[in-house]
Structure 1
Amino acid sequence: MVGAACLFPGQGSQSVGMGRALAERYPEAKAVFAEADKVLGFALSTLCFEGPAEELTRTENTQPALLATSVAAFRVLEARGLKPAAAAGHSAGEYAAHVAAGSLTLAEGLSLIRRRGEAMAGAGKERPGTMAAVLGLNVAQIQDVLRRVDAPRDLAAANYNSPGQVVLSGTPDAVARASEEARRAGAKKVVPLQVSAAFHSPLMEAASRGLDEAIARAPIARARFPVYANVTAAPVSEPEMIRDTLRKQLLSPVLWEQTMRAMREAGIRQYVEVGNGRVLRGLVRGVDKEAVVFGSEDPESIEAAAVGIAETATR
């Protein structure tokens, strides 16, 4: 049977206290946070474990915090015998997926994701933007909404999360107009998101330029298992393909629904959400209601995942 896929969450899955129970119980997790503190030059572990929330939710802090927490959980799962069939990460989570796969070292992943967060925060100040989740429209209807608004420099579909859930991103005016068009098209709900910038939209051009050089210089190894790229929903393993997809990521939509469908077609039926939160478990079930999805946000979830995956492997 095909093994489990590891899914790494992105921005929005952070919360004060994340990773603390793992670091207190497992030496593998403790070592990850210790290295993160050293690489970044500040106590990221304290920020994760104790907050304050307003500092943790700053983009430049959130992204390395999520990466460290996810890699800590992965290292514990790996020590308990997890051998992933594949991986994917939602937006910022793609960097954690590549650290897990060995494409990036932990130190390189932390440095890149910190740079990414800083670049995105800076771009958000340069060109303020917002995002909104549209529920109840299909992909064709979303594309029609974008055509009606006709603002390709100011608006984009940022995340195709699951059937009937797409996130729009752009200037406040363009997102407001698109939200109204979506309601006219029959959207069940349009939910404004509390974000600091218009992620995965043309407003991230400055951030993409700022990150591009760092990605170009980063040492990238062949992945130990395939990582499905956000920009293509296809698996990548070779260093130059990894580099290319990471460089395109900030200005491209996150094809998450398409990624889940591709994994299902590849025979994957088990998943582990590796890190904090439960967001990705819901998105998996939106595509594959029969999928078995484990968590790893605390020791109880880790142990349940290890047992569940091991039991399946012996059938």
Structure 2
Amino acid sequence: MEYTALGKSGLRVSRLCLGTMNFGVDTNEKEAFRIMDSALDAGINFMDTANIYGWGENAGRTEEIMGRWFKQGDGRRERTVLATKVYGDMHDPYDGPNREAGLSAYKIKRHLEGSLRRLQTDHIELYQMHHVDRRVNWNELWGAFEIAAAQGKIGYVGSSNFAGWDIAVAQGEAKARGHLGLVSEQHKYNLLCRLPELEVLPASKELGLGVIPWSPLDGGLLAGNHRRGGDSGGRRSGDAKRLEQHREQLDRYAKFCDELGEPEDLVSLAWLLANPAVTAPIIGVRTQEQFERSLRALDVKLDESALKRIDEIFPGPGGEAPRAYAW
């Protein structure tokens, strides 16, 4: 397994991050345990979740599954770099008027305690804001995170779904306080979604954040499902129109991957891994078989010629601008 530093921090994480959002929803607890055990055995030490996973009235279920997995012992917790998130509605009536999605010192403290309880741990390595909340002053937010860090409950702070401007403001405010600031940005980034190359990736690189791409296969559109007759993630979500919009690109991509002798999903992951701005793509698997398949992406190496061909099929937002991985 390859490892890399998480942004400007000294924390080293695996080049693939295991996403757990399907656990307790599409993946039962027994299979989730099997996948997480296999991840550790394969050298994956980085696992990402969120307090709202389980969704709706079942928010928190995924963290509970992970907590019971940690409780088995045998170094499971000690070997895991754990990341979770705060922002969403936990459907907790005791949150009262603070139940709605957003951030505040009150919510960070309360929801952090809830995550620690469900995860059956006393600390979280990477605590992430699931979205930006521009209504809240950064003095309040950094103050809350500093207290949590001083108490030993969190190690580092990350962001998710932030714009480049939000990252710059957050880092500027942190610097003024003498605080390390954000060490990572979790963002939707894949071959069909290259808009982050305009601002988010350059801002993250300049300001010392590692980038953790979510939806690296764009809900299945980049997994080759469209030509195997299976449902893509887009179809399952009713987005057949988007599939048709990109069908010509996807067909060209499938042909190119055939020439490489590698499947589309693994090439899509390998393309992200070839970008030095990327810390670790999140593999949100549902089954053990999907997990084992995703590991093979680490063995797929794309040369300059292959990367150029991919750019021709999926041009970046700057058209002929230099490729993201060349920054």
- RCO higher in structure (CA 8 A, sep ≥6): 1
The structure carrying a bigger helix percent of its residues is 1
TM-score computed with the length of structure 2 as normaliser: 0.23
In the superposition, the TM-score normalised over structure 1's length comes to 0.24
Kindly name which structure, 1 or 2, has the bigger radius of gyration based on alpha carbons.
Answer: 2
